[in-house]
Structure 1
Amino acid sequence: MTTPEIRLWNHLKRRQMQGFDFDRQRPIDEYIVDFYCKQLMLAIEIDGSSHDSEEAQEQDRYRQARLEALGVRFLRFTNWQVMHETDGVLRAIRQWIRDNSSTP
């Protein structure tokens, strides 16, 4: 895992995110997502500079569309956001869970 992935994982593991269980490096279909909550069908991706090129962005769009067709929903953050705006990233995840789950 990258440093930003480790930082976010420290807030997701052991059901720390509103009691939901997240896995890291979870295979889905023929892809692996950074973090995944099966109960929410939520994938969280942390994008580093390898995602900056147009080709990489096109591959990400294709991959995400394919997984969304299976019902997976996505939150994406950059390495910079995770490292420098950690609290904002965590708030965004909590807000997404509040807006998209039946659990308060």
Structure 2
Amino acid sequence: MTDAEQLLWYCLRRKQLSGFRFRRQHPVERFVLDFYCYETRLAIEIDGGQHNEPNAKYRDMARTEFLSCRGIQVLRFWNNDVFNNLEAVLQRIYEVLMERAGEQAPAEPPPSQPPPAGGRS
């Protein structure tokens, strides 16, 4: 996993986001999703700068269409968003989880804890 994926995983693992279980590096046919919530059929992809290349944009669009046809919604975030605006990323994920679970999202999601300074857990 990339550093951005590790940071987000720290916030998603162990049902920390409203009790939703996420899997990391989850295979769906020929693709491997960064994160996947089976309960809500939500995929989360964390993209680096290489996803700005024209061929990569086309592949990402095709991948999203493929997953969408299978009832899986894809949320994409840039690495920089995860590093610089983690709370907004988590808020967006939370809102979509609630929508897909058929619930009304409260204004504030449960707090998530950033990783401890100076190391991984």
**TM-score of the aligned structures, taking structure 1 as reference length:** 0.95
Distance in 2 (alpha carbons) for counterparts of 1:47 and 1:70: 22
Of the two, which has the highest radius of gyration?
2
* 1:76 shift after superposition: 0.7
Q: Which amino acid aligns with 2:5?
A: E
> Residue by residue, what CA displacement relative to the aligned partner does 1:1-40 show, whole Å, maximum 9, x if unpaired?
0000000000100001110110000000110010000010
* 1:45 shift after superposition: 0.3
Counterpart residue number, 2:96: 96
Counterpart residue number, 2:6: 6
- After superposition, where does 1:40-51 map in structure 2 within 5 Å? 40-51=40-51
Matched, 1:33 2:33: yes
* 1:95 shift after superposition: 1.2
**TM-score of the aligned structures, taking structure 2 as reference length:** 0.82
Q: In percent, how many aligned pairs have the same letter?
A: 38
* 1:103 shift after superposition: 4.8
> Residue by residue, what CA displacement relative to the aligned partner does 1:24-70 show, whole Å, maximum 9, x if unpaired?
00000110010000010000000001101011000000111011111
Counterpart residue number, 2:70: 70
Distance in 1 (alpha carbons) for counterparts of 2:100 and 2:64: 18
Matched, 1:16 2:39: no
Counterpart residue number, 1:54: 54
Q: Give the 3-state SS of the residue equivalent to 1:40 in structure 2.
A: coil
Q: Give the 3-state SS of the residue equivalent to 2:88 in structure 1.
A: helix
Q: Which has the higher helix share?
A: 1
Alignment size in residue pairs: 104
Counterpart residue number, 2:85: 85
Stretches of structure 2 that go unaligned for 5 or more consecutive residues are 105-121
Stretches of structure 1 that go unaligned for 5 or more consecutive residues are none
